Amino acid sequence: MNDNVDRIDDIVESIAPVLGMESIEKAAEPPEVQHPLVLEVKHVNGGYRTPGLIGRGKYHQVLFDVDFNIRHGEIMGLVGESGTGKSTLAKMILGMEKPEQGQIIHYTKRPQIIFQDPYSSLNPAYSVEWSLEEPLRVFGKYDEPERKRRVREMLARVELPEECLYAKPSELSGGQRQRVSIAAALIRRPRFIIADEPVSALDVTIQAQILQLLRDLREELDLSYLFISHDLNVVYQLCDRVLVMKKGRIVEQGTVDEVYDHPKEEYTKQLLAAAQ
């Protein structure tokens, strides 16, 4: 399913210039065929297997019967204490780890991820321009002027000046670096973004700016997000719905207002009390 959707997107994108189509999004995804969901996670169990000398090694289950969906255009929060399995779930959605049981169904192009540490998506040895251009080079569909045009367009979308293109990641501020890694995630025009603690390393003022940018990009590029955070206040500001995870299980989910105003689970109450 995922691969087919990706392939069709790629074909449409590659023929769009030939047909003189200005907007690839318009050509690829007319609104009337848009699926109401971007993602379904169905009863997923999964974890890690330590390599064994004999057989498949020891299995450590991290996720237990995880079941939820994300609707088109929505920002879904995922909260829970450290080590509970949030990043493991992100890796499964991205296809970097396989569930032992259950299903993960994508209704959009392959999602992209924004990490807490922008260096995870940027090569410290190269300029920002190089890092942003690289996925397009690997993709192999665009000539150099088109790649440069796309890189500049994306840089403008994340509201960075052109000088940033020529800097190495270490020469930028933390907030600028995170804007670049958002641009890197968006350069292949995904429709669904997983953000794993994207503002946790930033101070409060810069956090607010990046959250505003994520909101604006949702509108401009018609994105949906899974937004992972320890910080319940940040999730309250940004998200439409929220999943509360405890020890690899979703113990509560609902709209942010429902869950924050009327938490059902003791664990959610504790998390909210700790965030006061």
Ligand X SMILES: Nc1ncnc2c1ncn2[C@@H]1O[C@H](COP(=O)(O)OP(=O)(O)OP(=O)(O)O)[C@@H](O)[C@H]1O
Q: In whole angstroms, give the CA distance from residue 182 to residue 121.
A: 9
* 113 in Cβ contact with 178 (< 8 Å): no
CB of 233 to ligand X, least distance (A): 16
Which of Mg ion, ligand X, none does residue 268 bind (CB under 5 to 8 Å by kind)? none
Which of ligand X, Mg ion, none does residue 148 bind (CB under 5 to 8 Å by kind)? none
* 66 in Cβ contact with 231 (< 8 Å): no
Which of ligand X, Mg ion, none does residue 85 bind (CB under 5 to 8 Å by kind)? ligand X
Residues in 86-125 at the binding interface with Mg ion, rule: CB under 5 A: 86-87
Q: Comparing C-alpha atoms, which of 267, 249, 201 is closest to residue 85?
A: 249
Residue closer to Mg ion by CB (options 86, 177) is: 86
Residue closer to Mg ion by CB (options 117, 240) is: 117
Residue closer to ligand X by CB (options 189, 230) is: 230
CB of 60 to ligand X, least distance (A): 6
CB of 217 to ligand X, least distance (A): 23
CB of 68 to ligand X, least distance (A): 16
Which of Mg ion, ligand X, none does residue 191 bind (CB under 5 to 8 Å by kind)? none
At CA 83, angle to CA 79 and CA 87, rounded to 5? 65
Residues in 72-91 at the binding interface with Mg ion, rule: CB under 5 A: 86-87
* 226 in Cβ contact with 73 (< 8 Å): no
Looking at residue 32, the DSSP 8-state letter turns out to be G
CB of 145 to ligand X, least distance (A): 40
Query: For residue 63, how far is the Cα from the chain centroid?
Result: 19
Which of ligand X, Mg ion, none does residue 247 bind (CB under 5 to 8 Å by kind)? none
Q: In whole angstroms, give the CA distance from residue 44 to residue 69.
A: 12
Residue closer to ligand X by CB (options 64, 139) is: 64
Site residues (vs ligand X, CB under 6 A): 48, 62, 80, 82-88, 230
Q: Comparing C-alpha atoms, which of 229, 228, 256 is closest to residue 242?
A: 256
Q: What single-letter amino acid sits at 14?
A: S
CB of 215 to ligand X, least distance (A): 23
Q: In whole angstroms, give the CA distance from residue 245 to residue 85.
A: 8
- Per the document, the length of the chain is 276
Q: In whole angstroms, give the CA distance from residue 197 to residue 218.
A: 17
Closest-approach residue to Mg ion (CB): 87
Which ranges of 23-173 would DSSP assign to H, the alpha helix?
A: 24-28, 86-94, 128-139, 144-157
Which of Mg ion, ligand X, none does residue 84 bind (CB under 5 to 8 Å by kind)? ligand X
CB of 116 to Mg ion, least distance (A): 8
In the complex, which residues of this chain contact Mg ion (CB under 5 A)? 86-87
